[in-house]
Amino acid sequence: NIKILISSINKLFNKVFYELTQWISYPLIWVPGVIGVKLRKYIYKIYLFKCGSNVNISIGCYIRDFKNISFGNNIKLGINAQIYAGDNSKIKIGNSLSTNSNIMINADCGGYIEIKENVLIGPNVVIRVSNHTSTRTDIPINRQGHTAGRIIINEDVWLGANVVVLPDVEIGKGSIVAAGAVVTKNVGNYCIVGGIPAKLIKMRN
């Protein structure tokens, strides 16, 4: 059957292409200095679904599944950032994102993450859009798969150090999430929230 043959060839091509991108990108992760920044910018501009201008990716940053990730202009990723978008997930990052070190943006397992313009992200922040399924008790959790969700972070948001943003959350424009908070539900515009789970502390306006 011609259709089956074409499908098999496409799958093989995609696997080979994915493997090649990993081999090409991995050494780039650890190239230091200005040369490393320029090399990463050049290579990621080729492989990402979209990559704007003035993208600065620091040493140690690991990006997986380039085809599902879009970067706007003026992006700065701190040391050891991790960005994952496997399994038909999508990550869309708008203009002027600035992150500190050791952050994770994880949309694996079919999730969607959108970070809009002028967002600040402190060190050790985790933004994860999918959870392990745990409804059954007759089989281990690690065999139950995942449930995918969505996270939207609107314009002019500041996430402090060690913040965790969980699935199916929208953080409103101009809001601040205090250090160490765990965001489990929507945050309105111009709110300052903190705690576990995050609750309103006061309004900015």
Predicted local confidence at residue 100, as pLDDT: 97
Q: Which of 15, 50, 132, 202 is catalytic?
A: 132
In whole angstroms, what is the distance from residue 128 CA to residue 192 CA? 21
In whole angstroms, what is the distance from residue 176 CA to residue 4 CA? 52
Q: Per-10-residue mean pLDDT for the chain, 205 residues long? A: 83 76 76 87 86 93 92 96 92 98 95 98 97 90 91 98 97 98 98 98 94
The distance from CA 193 to its chain's CA centroid, rounded to whole angstroms, is 22
For this structure, is 132 an active site residue? yes
Predicted local confidence at residue 160, as pLDDT: 98
Predicted local confidence at residue 73, as pLDDT: 97
| Cβ atoms of residues 161 and 178 within 8 Å | no
Question: Would you give the DSSP letter of residue 79?
Answer: T
Predicted local confidence at residue 26, as pLDDT: 76
Tokens of 205: 């306006």
| Cβ atoms of residues 108 and 165 within 8 Å | no
What SS3 class is residue 85?
A: coil
Question: What torsion, rounded to 10 degrees, do the Cα atoms 69, 190, 199, 115 define?
Answer: 0
CA angle 35, 40, 45 (to 5 degrees): 135
- Long-range contacts, 29-38 (Cβ 8 Å, 24+): 29/59, 29/60, 29/61, 29/62, 30/59, 30/60, 31/59, 32/59
Predicted local confidence at residue 20, as pLDDT: 75
Predicted local confidence at residue 95, as pLDDT: 98
Q: Is the peptide bond before 197 cis (omega within 30 degrees of 0)?
A: yes
The pTM score is 0.85
